[in-house]
């Protein structure tokens, strides 16, 4: 059991920070302290945090289920303290508290592709240490505290190396010969806060699907599903036997192991056996993988010896979708997995290669989908506070939170996460307190754009990622053909309009920003009189920038058809295009795009065997070739944002902006025979909503139920209904 706090107030521990004095480079130190328990314990609490990641044991039993605690925050400003109820782990007499500390995100070489020119070098050289206090309360009312201090000892642990990109090395045969003194040091005290986010936990165990002998002669194990986590193995071995396991997402077209796309991340697991039967799983790191290659293994591998264990910060599913289309059902499963795999304390772009970073653009486009799929309120509340902590004095924000690229310039669609994300979470859960907490930061972001633009009411200048990975990019470029200034101006408008909505929801006077919004609108439309790409049309419609939605929608539809009923969009256009079409009368065309099976489409990766969402539609091409290894993740949730269209348009479940948290629901389904049926249930803060439709012969049967008042719109007929179940 772990306590959590929502105030973000500092906490103080009556203990000292300790580290391993004279520690050999990579070995993770194991700190120990023995103490006696004399008397009946009423309760015992361990308050603990680390610079790095820790695993604490009391009398050899793990404290809590939080993996990679204390998680990942903007460490210089905020460090979470975990508070565990450990009463049951204690015994009368002599007890031992032991803590192993690893590098984690704190002293990681992230991001992998950058040189020593940013603060990466400083990060790599950071020393790991921890602080803890074990507070015992006895039945007779007395108390005893076991704090970290100079009396602790450390020894080399069996974790010889552990790091986020490169993996873990463990020597089960290692016995530490000596214990050393610890050094107390001046660690952070003013920035300690109680746990705010979700815990990262083991969420699922997957058995081996297949053991493969590849054409190259490699032994590869397929778990049938890409996950974030690790492999656990159990075997009988001799002391000194070696195991080496590599991790990969895909096999190449010949069926051989492949992980070139991990770039600099080695993602290796090395294990030295002890004598006899033994079970191991990594302690202080995790991997993104579906396949493992047994580069060395001391005996014939048997399926029962291996289990893949998935870890994630999301545990409570809130959105449930079933359809009559096999490919779409697989797509939904892939999206849920990509969310689980990338929501490991921070929303990341991908869980495998040398990134695994909190990219703002990716989170921004996916956040609505994320909040429909799972309960992510607490997860984001913590991350928003990190976003605020990383916001620079001038109101700007880089492209990653926690900001491991502190010199990066703000980018349209990425840094706009400062406004879009809190608004979406407020809409999903109706938490005004969170919105009010974020409001100043949202305002500062819009003010930042106003302060830096070189052309009043447009966002000119700066460096942007554009319509990242747009399919209309020039050969060799990752940036789609949409104009930077167009997208930047459009986001300036969009962020301003959401800021106004947030301000109004909080009862503030937003006149100044309403005037700004109107001016941006006018200026934008005087400069951008025509739209040049699918994404530009889409954004103009979705953000409400076009003066003539009917005309723009028609042109977008024509354009999509002319392009061969296929997407030409990237990170910016893809999440909105089906909405833009459906909202303006082109639901059929949205379905055409959704159900397309040839490249480029959501279903093409399904045809190619995807179990998560890919960064590129053709991560694997029709002929089996890979996209270049340098930017080819098979677990990138951004394009999975399409699932919000299934909830909101196919099943038609929404709410008005003035009824956040689904105080009152709206159900307006858009059925299409090609899906057969759609059955969606959403668990909201105000109860359950179900929308089901099915084609029966030439008729459509609608079944709707809602725990709150609901407006149902079917065949343009609007009905205001009280909570209940209805069939049409």
What is the binding site for ligand BGC (CB under 6 A)?
A: 349-350, 355, 359, 361-362, 465, 468, 636
In angstroms, give the least distance from the CB of 411 to ligand BGC: 8
678 in Cβ contact with 587 (< 8 Å): no
224 in Cβ contact with 292 (< 8 Å): no
Tokens of 535: 């994404």
Is 355 designated active site?
yes
Task: Using the minimum distance from each CB to ligand BGC, give the nearer residue, 233 or 445.
Answer: 445
The span from the CA of 348 to the CA of 362, in Å, is 8
Task: Using the minimum distance from each CB to ligand BGC, give the nearer residue, 361 or 430.
Answer: 361
Active-site residue (options: 55, 196, 536, 615): 615
Task: Using the minimum distance from each CB to ligand BGC, give the nearer residue, 408 or 590.
Answer: 408
Task: Using the minimum distance from each CB to ligand BGC, give the nearer residue, 321 or 335.
Answer: 335
The span from the CA of 188 to the CA of 172, in Å, is 33
Strands (E), 23-142: 29-37, 41-51, 53-58, 61-62, 79-85, 93-102, 129-138
Q: In this structure, which long-range contacts are made by residues 406-410, counting pairs with CB atoms below 8 Å and at least 24 apart in sequence?
A: 406/118, 406/119, 407/117, 407/118, 409/462, 409/463, 410/448, 410/462
The span from the CA of 339 to the CA of 636, in Å, is 9
With 0-12 / 13-18 / 19 or more C-beta atoms within 10 angstroms meaning exposed / middle / buried, residue 142 is: exposed
CB-closest chain residue to ligand BGC: 349
Tokens of 502: 């947030």
Residue from 701, 703, 667 nearest 684 by CA: 667
Task: Using the minimum distance from each CB to ligand BGC, give the nearer residue, 51 or 487.
Answer: 487
Tokens of 300: 């014939």
The span from the CA of 8 to the CA of 414, in Å, is 25
Task: Using the minimum distance from each CB to ligand BGC, give the nearer residue, 308 or 642.
Answer: 642
In angstroms, give the least distance from the CB of 655 to ligand BGC: 29
The span from the CA of 721 to the CA of 676, in Å, is 26
In angstroms, give the least distance from the CB of 454 to ligand BGC: 23
In angstroms, give the least distance from the CB of 396 to ligand BGC: 16
In angstroms, give the least distance from the CB of 348 to ligand BGC: 9
Buried b (16+ CB within 10 A) or exposed e, 275-286: eeeeebbbbbbb
CB atoms within 10 A of CB 593: 22
Active-site residue (options: 355, 377, 536, 648): 355
303 in Cβ contact with 211 (< 8 Å): yes
Task: Using the minimum distance from each CB to ligand BGC, give the nearer residue, 210 or 463.
Answer: 463
CA 366 → CA 55, 291, 489, 638, distances in Å? 32, 26, 21, 6
In angstroms, give the least distance from the CB of 350 to ligand BGC: 6
In angstroms, give the least distance from the CB of 490 to ligand BGC: 17
Tokens of 375: 């309960």
Is 615 designated active site?
yes
Give the residue numbers annotated as catalytic, written as ranges.
Answer: 355, 615
């Amino acid at each position: 059991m772990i306590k959590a706090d929502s105030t973000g107030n500092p906490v103080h521990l009556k203990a000292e920070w300790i580290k391993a004095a004279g520690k050999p480079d990579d070995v993770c130190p194991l700190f120990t302290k023995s103490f006696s328990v004399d008397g009946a314990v009423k309760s015992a609490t361990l308050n603990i945090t680390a610079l790095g990641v820790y695993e604490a044991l009391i009398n050899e039993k793990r404290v809590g289920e939080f993996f990679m605690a204390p998680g990942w925050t903007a460490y210089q400003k905020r460090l979470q303290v975990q508070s565990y109820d450990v009463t049951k782990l204690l015994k009368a007499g002599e007890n031992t508290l032991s803590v192993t500390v690893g590098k984690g995100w704190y002293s990681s070489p992230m991001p992998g592709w950058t040189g020593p020119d940013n603060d990466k070098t400083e990060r790599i050289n950071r020393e790991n240490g921890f602080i803890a206090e074990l507070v015992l309360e006895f039945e007779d009312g007395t108390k005893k505290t076991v704090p970290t201090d100079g009396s602790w000892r450390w020894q080399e642990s069996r974790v010889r190396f552990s790091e986020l990109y490169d993996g873990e090395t463990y020597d089960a045969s290692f016995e530490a010969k000596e214990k050393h003194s610890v050094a107390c040091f001046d660690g952070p005290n003013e920035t300690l806060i109680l746990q705010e986010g979700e815990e990262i936990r083991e969420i699922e165990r997957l058995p081996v699907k297949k053991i493969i002998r590849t054409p190259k002669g490699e032994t590869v194990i397929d778990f049938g599903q890409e996950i974030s986590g690790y492999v656990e193995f159990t075997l009988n071995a001799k002391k000194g036997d070696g195991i080496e396991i590599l991790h990969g997402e895909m096999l190449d077209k010949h069926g051989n192991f492949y992980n070139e796309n991990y770039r600099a991340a080695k993602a290796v697991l090395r294990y030295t056996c002890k004598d006899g039967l033994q079970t191991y799983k990594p302690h202080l790191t995790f991997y993104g993988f579906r396949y493992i290659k047994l580069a060395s293994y001391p005996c014939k591998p048997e399926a029962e010896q291996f289990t893949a264990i998935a870890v994630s910060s999301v545990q409570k599913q809130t959105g449930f979708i079933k359809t009559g289309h096999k490919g779409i059902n697989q797509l939904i499963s892939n999206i849920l997995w990509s969310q689980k795999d990338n929501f490991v304390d921070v929303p990341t772009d991908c869980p495998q290669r040398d990134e695994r970073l909190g990219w703002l653009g990716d989170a921004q486009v996916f956040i609505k989908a994320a909040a429909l799929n799972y309960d992510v309120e607490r997860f984001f509340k913590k991350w928003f506070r990190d976003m605020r902590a990383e916001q620079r004095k001038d109101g700007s924000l880089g492209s990653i939170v926690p900001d491991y690229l502190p010199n990066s310039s703000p980018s349209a669609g990425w840094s706009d996460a400062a406004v879009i994300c809190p608004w979406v979470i407020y809409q999903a859960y109706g938490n005004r307190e969170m919105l009010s907490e974020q409001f100043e930061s949202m305002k500062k972001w819009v003010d930042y754009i106003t302060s830096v633009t070189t052309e009043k009411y447009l966002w000119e200048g700066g460096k942007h990622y554009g319509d990242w990975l747009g399919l209309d990019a020039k050969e060799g470029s990752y940036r789609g053909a949409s104009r930077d200034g167009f997208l930047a101006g459009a986001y300036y408008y969009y962020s301003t309009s959401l800021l106004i909505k947030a301000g109004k929801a909080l009862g503030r006077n937003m006149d100044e920003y309403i005037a700004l919004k109107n001016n941006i609108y006018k200026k934008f439309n005087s400069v951008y009189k025509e739209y040049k790409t699918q994404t530009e049309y889409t954004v103009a419609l979705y953000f409400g920038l076009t003066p003539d939605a009917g005309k723009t929608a028609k042109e977008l539809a024509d354009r999509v058809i002319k392009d061969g009923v296929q997407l030409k969009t990237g990170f910016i256009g893809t999440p909105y295009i089906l909405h833009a079409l459906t909202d303006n009368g082109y639901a059929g065309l949205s379905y055409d795009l959704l159900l397309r099976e040839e490249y480029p489409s959501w279903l093409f990766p399904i045809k190619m065997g995807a179990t998560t969402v890919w960064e590129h539609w053709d991560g694997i091409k029709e002929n089996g070739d890979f996209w270049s290894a340098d930017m080819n993740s098979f677990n990138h949730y951004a394009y999975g944002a399409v699932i919000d269209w299934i909830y909101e348009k196919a099943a038609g479940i929404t709410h008005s902006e003035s009824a956040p948290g689904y105080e009152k629901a709206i159900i307006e389904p858009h059925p299409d025979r090609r899906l057969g049926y759609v059955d969606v249930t959403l668990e909201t803060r105000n109860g359950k909503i179900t929308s089901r439709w099915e084609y029966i012969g030439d008729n459509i049967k609608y079944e709707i139920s809602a725990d709150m008042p609901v407006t149902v719109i079917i065949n343009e007929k609007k009905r205001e209904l009280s909570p209940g179940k209805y069939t049409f």
